[in-house]
């Protein structure tokens, strides 16, 4: 089992920045691929960014590429999402996800993740 808790959401003006954190506990000694997803009202859950268990490989959704940066600290068992140049269309509930894996891969589909946090709201005003 892996437990995930997100923090760092809030209200920010367009063009601003926010930093989300995801604290992992439980089976953190395993090789765990992690990712961020978001879901806006009335829309499907969308892949934002993913990172391999070693942190050596990252992948981003097209809508956030160049603006968001994903990273992880396996000593502290945390993952972060630095979000810059935020736009109103970035408004959503952001979820942290994790999956125990056997190879260094980035998972981009929500259905590939077993463990999820409760979500944190990000609101970008225009």
18: its two tokens = 């926010």
> How much is the pLDDT for 10?
97
Instruction: Find how far residue 18's CA is from the centre of its chain.
Output: 12
Strands (E) in 1-126, as ranges, are: 2-7, 10-13, 18-26, 32-39, 46-51, 58-60, 68-73, 78-83, 92-100, 115-116, 120-125
21-79, pLDDT tens digit by residue? 999 998 777 799 999 999 999 999 999 999 998 888 999 999 999 999 999 999 999 99
Beta pairing, strands 10-13 & 120-125: parallel
Q: Which residue has the higher pLDDT, 101 or 27?
A: 101
For the cut 80, the answer to whether the pLDDT of residue 95 exceeds it is: yes
CA distance 47 to 109: 7
């Amino acid at each position: 089992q892996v437990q995930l808790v997100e923090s760092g959401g809030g209200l920010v003006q367009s063009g601003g920045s926010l930093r989300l954190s995801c604290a992992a506990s439980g089976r953190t000694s395993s090789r765990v691929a992690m990712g961020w997803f978001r879901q806006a009202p009335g829309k499907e859950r969308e892949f934002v960014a993913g990172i391999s268990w070693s942190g050596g490989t990252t992948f981003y959704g097209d809508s956030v590429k160049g603006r968001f940066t994903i990273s992880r600290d396996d000593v502290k068992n945390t993952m972060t999402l630095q979000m810059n140049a935020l736009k109103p269309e970035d408004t959503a509930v952001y979820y942290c996800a994790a999956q125990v894996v056997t190879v260094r891969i980035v998972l981009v589909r929500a259905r590939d993740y077993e463990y999820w946090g409760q979500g944190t709201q990000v609101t970008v005003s225009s």
